């Protein structure tokens, strides 16, 4: 690119009609001139060849992505990780904000993803390491999306639970258990105090546990638990399957008594989530397989909050995400950024309920609550309920006891002296 061409890919925000652009925040390491690299990054993700040969025209004013800001610092030691087939040249670490005209791709998730996480981003000349850190949408773009159908308030209304976290439990053993004993475990969990008993994200419509049978038995057990406890109970059926099977599986599960359905976002595809949102009659829950493959390393890939925002855009009422604690290998600030992406204002879109999960139990509830600083979250133990030494009824009870202690301002450990279930969970 000539210096003039490079300049043409820079702009100040004031010079743009900002409602026509989404904003992308990237960090990257480049070889060669950072300004040229940033211009290439903008060009390649939009109009890389902006005129026909021999025709006096320029598509850049309307169609080019523009660099709004660029900060760079030299890395004399080179790239911070070895990259096979990396370009040669002096290395800089950079942070750039790019405005990308959304008219190029429209309010379609696959086309959005192709533009902002496609060849133009990951193969921009001179940039072997790049991470999309964040994405911001103008109201005009958000207006074309449905977003969550129920949101936090709708999920609370369904369960009639206010002023405290929602208690989910992943029925375990997750794989291999036939529907009858599986439903019995769910029943025990509800009786102990779970709001929602859920399928594991790996439990499919399997021959040893067909969804129709499982949902019917869980639906029946759920209704029995409602009668016995006098409060609404939820069964969350995992309907993750081929996209052309999802609507029928939703109908099957809901008819049998599921009150929520779950899909694994990346395996199904964000667009499949959005299509299911349009069909769903119950809250839609999404789970996080695959995401860590591109979000764990800070130097390359995609920050997980981008995927959280896209899941909310696709209409997830509840977003299960890697939570706190060593086990989940996710920095605390990243968990918090994902929680905030669920709850903070986003045009007309309802908030999604964040469910930071992973090896939780009554022993970790207070820490999760203190970090989030709000009751608007879901808590989702698996073995913390279904591996509890007193069984799932005891495991679920231990969660509620821990919450009772927190709500009353009594140290959980002290409160446990009165409650065997909580005491066992803390051990």
Q: What six digits make up the tokens of 30?
A: 């480049």
Residue choice 144, 389, 407, 411 for contact with its own copies (CB under 8 A): 389
Residues 67 and 35: their CA atoms lie apart, in Å, by 9
Positions in 5-34 near its own copies (CB under 8 A): none
- Decide if 238 contacts 260 (C-beta within 8 A): no
Q: In the set 270, 282, 313, 363, which binds its own copies (CB under 8 A)?
A: 270
Q: Contacts with its own copies in 91-110 (CB under 8 A)? A: 103-106, 108-110
Q: Report d(CA 424, CA 427) in Å as an integer.
A: 5
286 near its own copies, judged by CB under 8 A: no
Please tell me the distance from the alpha carbon of residue 384 to that of residue 399, in angstroms, as a whole number. Answer: 9
Residue from 123, 139, 344, 407 touching its own copies (CB under 8 A): that is: 123
Q: Tell me how many residues contact its own copies (CB under 8 A).
A: 104
Q: Of residues 194-233, which lie at the interface with its own copies (CB under 8 A)?
A: 201-202, 204-208
Contact 379, 167 (CB under 8 A): yes
For 181, residues 6+ apart whose C-beta sits below 8 A from its C-beta are: none
Task: Point out which span in 115-123, 138-146, 368-376, 408-416 binds its own copies (CB under 8 A).
Answer: 115-123
Closest distance to its own copies from the beta carbon of 97 (Å): 19
**Nearest distance from residue 286's CB to its own copies, in Å?**
12
Tokens representing 83? 């990259």
DSSP 350: P
Q: Where are the beta strands (DSSP E) in 18-90?
A: 21-31, 66-74
| Under rule CB under 8 A, residue 47 binds its own copies | yes
Is residue 367 a contact point for its own copies (CB under 8 A)?
A: no
For 81, other C-beta atoms within 10 Å of its C-beta total 12
User: Which of 3, 74, 89, 267 lies at the binding interface for its own copies (CB under 8 A)?
Assistant: 267
| Binding positions for its own copies, 395-424, rule CB under 8 A | none
**Do 203 and 174 contact (CB within 8 A), yes or no?**
yes
Instruction: Identify which of residues 10 and 63 has a Cβ nearer to its own copies in the complex.
Output: 63
**Buried/exposed code over 338-369 (b: 16+ C-beta within 10 A; e: otherwise):** bbebbbeebeebbbbbbbbbbebbbbbbbebb
Least separation in angstroms between residue 289's CB and its own copies is: 3
The distance from CA 28 to its chain's CA centroid, rounded to whole angstroms, is 23
The CA-based angle 203-190-402, given to 5 degrees, is: 105
Nearer to its own copies, 36 or 266 (CB): 266
Please choose, out of 157-165, 212-220, 263-271, 407-415, the segment that lies near its own copies by the rule CB under 8 A. Answer: 263-271
Does residue 317 interact with its own copies by CB under 8 A? no
Selected from 8, 39, 94, 120, the binder of its own copies by CB under 8 A is 120
Scanning residues 320 to 359, which ones bind its own copies (CB under 8 A)? 322, 326-331, 334, 358
Looking at the Cβ atoms of 51 and 229, the one nearer to its own copies is 51
Q: How far is the CB of 345 from its own copies (least distance, A)?
A: 25
In SS3 terms, 82-109 reads as CCCCCCCCCEEEEEEEEEEEHHHCCCCH
Q: Please report whether residue 275 would count as binding its own copies according to CB under 8 A.
A: yes
Q: By C-beta, is 72 or 265 nearer to its own copies?
A: 265
Query: Considering the rule CB under 8 A, would residue 46 count as an interface residue with its own copies?
Result: yes
Q: Which is nearer to its own copies, 86 or 426 (CB)?
A: 86
Q: How far apart are CA 408 and CA 427, in angstroms?
A: 22
Q: DSSP 3-state assignment of 147?
A: coil
- Helices 332-343 and 365-372: crossing angle in degrees, nearest 10, is 60
Helices 179-192 and 211-229: angle between axes, nearest 10 degrees: 30
| Binding to its own copies, residues 57-86 (CB under 8 A) | 59, 62-63, 81, 83-86
Task: Give the binding range for its own copies (CB under 8 A) out of 146-154, 237-245, 348-356, 407-415.
Answer: 237-245
CB of 169 to its own copies, least distance (A): 12
Q: For residues 154, 158, 161 and 164, what is the CA-based torsion angle, rounded to 10 degrees? A: -40
Listed residue (153, 107, 147) closest to 273, CA to CA: 147
Note whether 56 binds its own copies by CB under 8 A.
no
Among 69, 149, 174, 213, binds its own copies (CB under 8 A): 174
Q: Which of 15, 19, 48, 411 binds its own copies (CB under 8 A)?
A: 48
Residue 281 touches its own copies, criterion: CB under 8 A:
no
Q: Do β-strands 234-238 and 378-379 pair in parallel, antiparallel, or remain unpaired?
A: unpaired
Residue with Cβ nearer its own copies (228 or 329): 329
| 248 part of the interface to its own copies, by CB under 8 A | no
């Amino acid at each position: 690119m000539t210096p003039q061409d490079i300049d043409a890919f820079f702009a100040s925000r004031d010079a743009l009609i900002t409602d026509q652009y989404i904003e992308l925040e990237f960090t990257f390491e480049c070889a060669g001139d950072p300004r040229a690299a940033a211009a290439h990054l903008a060009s390649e993700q939009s109009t890389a060849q902006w005129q026909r040969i021999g025709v006096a025209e320029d598509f850049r004013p309307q169609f080019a992505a523009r660099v709004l800001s660029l900060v760079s610092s030299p890395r004399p030691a080179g790239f911070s990780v070895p990259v096979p087939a990396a370009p040669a040249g002096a290395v800089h670490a950079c942070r750039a904000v790019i405005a990308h005209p959304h008219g190029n791709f429209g309010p379609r998730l696959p086309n959005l993803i192709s533009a902002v996480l496609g060849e133009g981003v990951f193969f921009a000349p001179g940039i072997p390491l790049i991470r999309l850190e964040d994405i911001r949408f103008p109201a005009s773009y958000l207006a074309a999306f449905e977003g969550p159908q129920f949101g936090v308030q709708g999920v609370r209304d369904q369960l009639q639970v206010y002023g405290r976290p929602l208690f989910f439990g992943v029925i375990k053993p997750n794989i291999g258990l036939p529907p009858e004993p599986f439903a019995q475990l769910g029943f025990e969990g509800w009786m102990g105090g779970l709001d929602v008993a859920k399928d594991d994200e790996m439990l499919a419509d399997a021959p040893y546990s067909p969804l129709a049978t499982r949902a019917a038995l869980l639906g029946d057990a759920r209704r029995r638990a409602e009668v016995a406890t006098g409060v609404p109970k939820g069964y969350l059926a995992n309907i993750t399957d081929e996209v052309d099977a999802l609507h029928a599986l939703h109908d099957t599960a809901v008819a049998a008594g599921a009150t929520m359905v779950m899909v694994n976002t990346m395996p199904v595809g964000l667009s499949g989530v959005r299509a299911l949102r349009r069909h769903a009659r119950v809250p839609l829950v999404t789970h996080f397989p695959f995401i860590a493959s591109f979000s764990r390393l800070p130097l390359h890939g995609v920050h997980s909050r981008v995927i959280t925002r896209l899941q909310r855009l696709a209409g997830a009422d509840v977003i299960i995400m890697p939570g706190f604690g060593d086990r989940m290998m996710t920095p605390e600030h990243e968990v918090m950024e994902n929680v905030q992406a669920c709850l903070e204002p986003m045009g007309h879109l309802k908030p999604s309920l964040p469910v930071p999960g992973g090896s939780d139990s009554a022993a970790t509830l207070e820490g999760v609550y203190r970090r989030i600083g709000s009751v608007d979250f879901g808590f989702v133990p698996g073995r913390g309920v279904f591996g509890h030494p007193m069984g799932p009824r005891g495991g679920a009870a231990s969660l509620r006891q821990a919450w009772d202690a927190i709500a009353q301002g009594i140290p959980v450990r002290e409160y446990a002296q009165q409650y065997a279930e909580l005491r066992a969970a803390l051990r």
